[in-house]
Amino acid sequence: MTCPIESFLQLDYHLYTNPIPETFAPSHFISDNLREELQKRSESSHTIPSMPYHVPEELQGYHSLVPLEPITPERRKFVSWFSTVYRATSINDGAAYVLRRIENFRLTNHAAFGMIESWSRIRHPNIVRVREAFTTRAFNDSSLVVCYDYHPDSQSLMELYFRSMSPSILHGQLSAPLGRIPEATLWTYIIQIANAIRAAHEAGLAVRMIDPAKILLTGKNRLRINACGIVDVLLYDTRQDAGLAQQDDLVMFGRLVIALCCGSITALNALPKALEVMSRVYSAEIKTLALYLISKPAPHKTIAQIMELIGTNRLAREMDEMQIANDRLETELMSELENGRLVRLLCKFGFINERPEFAREPRWSETGDRYIIKLFRDYVFHQVDENGNPVVNLSHVLTCLNKLDCGSDERVMLVSRDEQSCLVVSYKEVKACIESAFRSVSAVSVQK
Ligand SMILES: Nc1ncnc2c1ncn2[C@@H]1O[C@H](COP(=O)(O)OP(=O)(O)OP(=O)(O)O)[C@@H](O)[C@H]1O
């Protein structure tokens, strides 16, 4: 989770959708699940821990720094240094980013930042984008800071699959894995990680850290390798040949696959037992792939070959799933597109109806175009039943607004509240009235 500090305020997401009128057709709006997911992301981007924390007010063009993890005594080291991750807002574009600070790190060779530049040129859907790096004394030490894209409400594979487990499982006593990852999901993960490694290797880089704590799940089954480039800077002086480091990537990848299959990060310490668990639970192909990944380096052992081992069938299936997910999102987007259009129409209504400046001039709203708009507003929103009770029918409202927006020739009978006047007009005519009334309001308005 991006905000693991427990005392954060929790929102009840369903308050946004309840109560749902009986006539409410859910297909008019994005699904509750997607709304909840997006709402959580938005909330994560704004939450701050309630416990006190000390951060510089401004840091090389970033402000509003917020730690994304509690600073506890049992912190793990990042290579040989302690690190802290902050969310921060950029002064340049107002967007949120992640700043990973390596504490007490003294940069001896400025050329090391060349590696960050190389990483920043990689734009890949399975790699958290690297933005820039700098050193700073703003934390009262010499710190290295690397800036990454921020993925709100993401969770690392470590948090998702390993941290909630009992210490015996974390420390290698393998039993049937708790919360076993379905094989289809595992293949999705394998393909995405392999794809990220492929992008890095093709650019002549090595990922150097394929660790469950540094792989983020940023959406449903969507992985991104995080914290790229830092190890290149930290170990710049003792850097390894890129080819050897790339071979190491494949071994780390194999270890990760075994850990995910067995539900233990130390599964490799008892390899025969781990392989037995894998054979029991997963297909032979996963075991073959994992064994090949952890095998000794060889000239032909490359990420391209791993892709071949994964097989075109699986890659094609993954592509199908991605396109289906894309279609689903486009459909959801379409319904919100309609809503955006309708909100603009409603705003126009709001600007025109019951303007207090014209209150002393009833002719403004009681004659011509404006009168039609007033009656139409009543027709859309203020319907009553035979007993005079309000009718709240969202479908009626949406249908009318859609017909209005497209200027349909369909006619509608508008009746005044005192039932003394009655007009038959087309939606097209009402639309023209709204346009003209809106134009006359905006002509005398002070544009902001
Ligand atoms: N780019 C990012 N976008 C959103 N959240 C992130 C990003 N990078 C890290 N985080 C979140 O910040 C927190 C700390 O990240 P970090 O990589 O230090 O993980 P960690 O679990 O503390 O690992 P370690 O034990 O190795 O320190 C995690 O909750 C992680 O999900």
Q: What is the pLDDT of residues 379-423, one digit of tens each?
A: 999 998 889 899 988 888 888 998 998 899 999 999 988 888 888
Average pLDDT for residues 305-316, to the nearest whole number? 96
Report CA(165)–ligand 1 centroid distance (Å): 18
Long-range contacts of 87-93 (CB under 8 A, 24+ apart): 87/2, 87/45, 87/150, 88/59, 88/62, 88/63, 88/64, 89/62, 89/63, 89/64, 90/61, 90/62, 91/58, 91/61, 91/62, 91/63, 92/61
Task: Please identify, by atom number, the ligand 1 atom nearest to the C-alpha of residue 214.
Answer: 17
Average pLDDT for residues 110-129, to the nearest whole number? 97
> Residue 301 sits in a domain of what CATH number?
1.10.510.10
Shared domain for 366 and 312, answered yes or no, is: no
What is the 3-state secondary structure of the chain?
CCCCCCCCCCCCHHHHCCCCCCCCCHHHCCCHHHHHHHHHHHHHCCCCCCCCCCCCCEECCEEEEEECCCCCCCCCCECCECEEEEEEEECCCCCEEEEEEECCCCCCCHHHHHHHHHHHCCCCCCECCEEEEEEECCCCCCEEEEEEECCCCCEEHHHHHHCCCCHHHHCCCCCCCCCCCCHHHHHHHHHHHHHHHHHHHHCCCCCCCCCHHHEEEEECCEEEECCCCHHHHHCCCCCCCHHHHHHHHHHHHHHHHHHHHHCCCCHHHHHHHHHHHHHHHCCHHHHHHHHHHHCCCCCCCCHHHHHHHHCHHHHHHHHHHHHHHHHHHHHHHHHHHHHHHHHHHHHHHHHHCCCHHHCCCHHHHHCHHHHHHHHHHHHHHCCECCCCCECCCHHHHHHHHHHHHHCCCCEEEEECCCCCCEEEEEHHHHHHHHHHHHHHHHHHCCCC
Among residues 315, 335, 355, the one where a domain terminates is 335
Higher-confidence residue: 288 or 19? 288
Among residues 335, 364, 391, the one where a domain terminates is 335
Shared domain for 123 and 191, answered yes or no, is: yes
Q: How confident is the model at residue 169 (pLDDT cuts 50, 70, 90)?
A: very low
> Atom 24, ligand 1: which residue's CA is nearest?
76
Among residues 335, 369, 387, the one where a domain terminates is 335
Q: What is the pLDDT of residues 145-160, one digit of tens each?
A: 999 999 999 999 999 9
Shared domain for 365 and 308, answered yes or no, is: no
pLDDT at position 4: 45
Higher-confidence residue: 287 or 80? 287
Whole-number average pLDDT of the chain: 87
pLDDT at position 6: 43
pLDDT at position 7: 43
Shared domain for 351 and 440, answered yes or no, is: yes
- Full residue range of the structural domain in which residue 133 is found: 44-335
Predicted complex ipTM: 0.97
Shared domain for 213 and 86, answered yes or no, is: yes
160 Cβ below 6 A of ligand 1: no
Report CA(212)–ligand 1 centroid distance (Å): 11
Shared domain for 396 and 288, answered yes or no, is: no
Task: Please identify, by atom number, the ligand 1 atom nearest to the C-alpha of residue 149.
Answer: 1
pLDDT at 15 over 80: no
How far apart CA 38 and CA 45 sit, in angstroms, is 11
Q: What is the pLDDT of residues 42-83, one digit of tens each?
A: 999 988 887 888 999 999 999 999 999 887 777 778 888 999
Shared domain for 408 and 301, answered yes or no, is: no
Please count the structural domains in the chain.
2
Shared domain for 232 and 343, answered yes or no, is: no
Pocket test for ligand 1, best of 77, 97, 217, 226 (most atoms within 8 A of CB): 226
Q: How confident is the model at residue 14 (pLDDT cuts 50, 70, 90)?
A: very low
Shared domain for 174 and 284, answered yes or no, is: yes
Pocket test for ligand 1, best of 45, 85, 87, 145 (most atoms within 8 A of CB): 85
> Atom 23, ligand 1: which residue's CA is nearest?
213
37 occurs within a structural domain = no
Shared domain for 331 and 406, answered yes or no, is: no
